[in-house]
Amino acid sequence: MKHFINLKDIPAKDLRKILIEAKRRKNKRKKLNNLDFDKDAPLKGKLLIQMFEKSSLRTRLSFFLAISQLGGKTLTLRRDELHLSNGGESIKDTAKILSNFGDAFMLRTDSDEKFEEFKKHLSIPIINGLSPSSHPTQILSDVYTVEEIKKKPISKLNIAWVGDSNNVLNSLIAASIKFVFNLKVGCPKKYQPNQNIMNYIKKNKGKISIYNDPKKAVQGADVIFSDKVISMNDKVNKKKKLDYFRNFRINKKLMRFAKKDCIFLHCLPRGPEVDEKVFLSKHSKVWQQALNRIHVQKSILLYCFGKLR
Ligand code: CP
Ligand code: NVA
């Protein structure tokens, strides 16, 4: 049994195995419907329990289809219906019940500490479906999408991020270290990655540069990533923060600094950080990106269940 909490704690060879299995399974499903099982239905009889303490559309749907295609089922718990949420039950007791009733637990939460606390008391795998400091299932899937579209290992590509230094960027930085790719980050000085992240980059000799000019960040890029400037539960003066990012908007003018065949990716939902014209252009691969979450999360589930070849 393995947990999937942060990319930085998972060996690079396991992350690569997850991507290889995702590709193999995706290729085999071309003629199947969403709810058809993969032929081997390797998680038949297994229950994935999901809990979202924050909103979600894609993660919820993609985990539902992922476990379904592997032959299992999912149950989504509503935060407001649990004793845990109003202080009526401990994580310890909740974890015991989850372990007795289910086979894996996917959690989206506002507290990184909760993963550690749950991990201590669960006897089933826990998967991070987004935390304040990371979004690992998203970024692993995005690495898959980049390689699928570019038909090259990501280590041979120039990746740019233009946007806030948030959970999604943290996971992209971890991916850049695990998969050894160049990453240029463009963000206002005030919103650069924090000292812990900078130390992690330094310690692991990451190929990551930070620019306060978006043009420099996207120069020669094969891929430009972005995300919302205001994340869920971001307790900031929204107007002020958006003002800082005014010059970091991804528009056609900025795209011209990247390679001609540069693609645009965004985990969604989007905000004003990307211009509608770019978002709807042929460079934008956001719908393919969202759908690939199903395939990569199937592999993540298999990894957690110890069933990855
Ligand atoms: N990208 C992503 O995680 O989307 P949701 O918040 O809708 O799950
Ligand atoms: N950074 C965003 C990602 C949403 C999928 C947030 O945390 O709200």
Ligand 2 pocket test target in 168, 229, 234, 289 with most atoms within 8 Å of CB: 168
Is the same domain home to 98 and 237?
no
Task: State pLDDT tens for residues 54-70.
Answer: 999 999 999 999 999 99
- Pick from 227, 268, 293 the residue to mutate for probing ligand 2's pocket: most ligand atoms within 8 Å of its CB: 227
Looking at the structure, tell me whether residues 189 and 113 fall in a common domain.
no
* Cβ contact 220:259 at 8 Å: yes
Say if residues 193 and 209 touch (Cβ distance below 8 Å): no
- Asked if residue 150 and residue 76 are part of one domain, the reply reads no
Identify the band that residue 218 occupies on the pLDDT scale cut at 50, 70 and 90. Answer: very high
Q: Whose CA is nearest to atom 6 of ligand 1?
A: 56
Q: Could you tell me if residue 24 is inside a domain?
A: yes
Q: Could you tell me the CATH number of the domain that includes residue 170?
A: 3.40.50.1370
Do residues 126 and 173 share a domain? no
d(CA 254, CA 217): 10
Q: Are residues 266 and 205 in the same domain?
A: yes
| Domain housing 21 | 7-134+293-304
Measured distance CA(182)–CA(59) in Å, rounded: 27
Confidence of residue 28 (pLDDT cuts 50, 70, 90): very high
- Whether 123 and 247 share a structural domain: no
Quick one: DSSP state of residue 9?
G
Token pair, residue 227, equals 């995300």
197 and 123 part of one domain? no
Domain total of the chain: 2
In a domain, 1, yes or no: no
If asked whether residues 263 and 167 sit together in one domain, one would say yes
- Asked if residue 283 belongs to a domain, the reply is yes
Tell me: do 140 and 284 sit in the same domain: yes
pTM score, whole prediction: 0.98
Please give the distance, rounded to the nearest whole angstrom, from the Cα atom of residue 131 to the centre of ligand 2: 9
Q: Look at residue 309 and tell me if it is in a domain.
A: no
Q: Where are the beta strands (DSSP E) in 32-122?
A: 47-52, 73-78, 104-108
Is 2 part of a structural domain of the chain? no
pLDDT digits 0-9 by tens, 117-138? 999 999 999 999 999 999 999 9
Tell whether 248 and 297 lie within a shared domain.
Answer: no
